[in-house]
Amino acid sequence: MDENDLLNYAEEIMSAPAHAARGYLFEPRFEPAEVTLASDGLTLALDETSSKSRWIEVTVGVFGDQPGKLHAFAPSVRARTQNLAAKAYAFAIDHAGSVLPARSAALVRDRVRRVADVLQVEGFASIDAYANIDTGEIIVVSVDTVLDMTSPNAPVFEQALAENPPIDPEGLCVKALSLALVRRYR
């Protein structure tokens, strides 16, 4: 939890000859900022009173018929809904740039696409990450090659509709199927 715990851990590892460490890998630990989605389902707001963190949770859909030629959708931000009965969350695109400014959103989109390229993603995938709202830096949490399409509120549908030109849900499903068939019979 802090530098003292880290020092104790490192000393314990180094004192165990059978488990001598060859090195360490560290990743940042932080609490993401709380983002709220207004009852209109469109307006996002960063709750700066509960946290000073500049990191938020995002999910980004990527697609393409081969690695290196992928396209990334606009990132969707994880936000707490106005449902006071339960602490519910949803993903929404920050069209107004009130939480994730346009420049940072473009950097997130490009970095997610590059991650998918490196991982040799084909077809469709959803990449979950933490994104820094000031720099667009990302920390990838997971890559899911089976998109959540079980709900009309799935982030990939909103992301597809935000494209220019928009891709409607039926068109998205047809595209996903055609990419799968191309890969299968290649």
CATH number at residue 140: 3.30.470.20
pLDDT score recorded for residue 49:
82
Whether residue 129 is predicted with pLDDT greater than 60 in this model: the reply is yes
In eight-state DSSP terms, residue 17 is G
Element (H, E) at 123: strand 123-132
Whether residue 3 is contained in a domain is answered as no
Amino acid (one-letter) located at 116: A
Structural domain includes residue 176: yes
- Residue 125 inside a domain? The answer is yes
DSSP letter for each residue of 85-115: SS--EEEEE-TT-SSS-HHHHHHHHHHHHHH
178, part of any domain: yes
How many domains does the chain fold into? 1
What number of other Cβ atoms are within 10 A of residue 144's Cβ? 13
- The answer to whether residue 37 scores a pLDDT higher than 80 is yes
Tell the residue number behind the tokens 């929404």, with chain if given.
92
Tell me what pLDDT residue 86 has: 60
State which H helix or E strand residue 180 sits in: helix 169-184
If one compares 42 and 129, the residue with the highest pLDDT of the two is 129
pLDDT at residue 48 is higher than 60: yes
Q: Is residue 19 part of a domain?
A: no
pLDDT in tens, 131-154: 999 999 999 999 998 877 887 788
Cβ atoms within 10 Å of 80's Cβ, excluding its own? 15
User: Do the domain assignments include residue 179?
Assistant: yes
User: At 47, is the pLDDT very low, low, confident or very high (cuts 50, 70, 90)?
Assistant: confident
Q: Give residue 83's pLDDT.
A: 66
Q: Which residues of 41-77 are buried (b: 16+ CB within 10 A; e: fewer)?
A: eebbbbeeeeeebbbbbbbbbbbbeeeeebebbbbbb
**116 in any annotated domain:** yes
Residue 131: inside a domain, yes or no?
A: yes
**Average pLDDT in the chain:** 87
Return the H-helix or E-strand segment holding 172.
helix 169-184
Domain that holds residue 87: 33-184
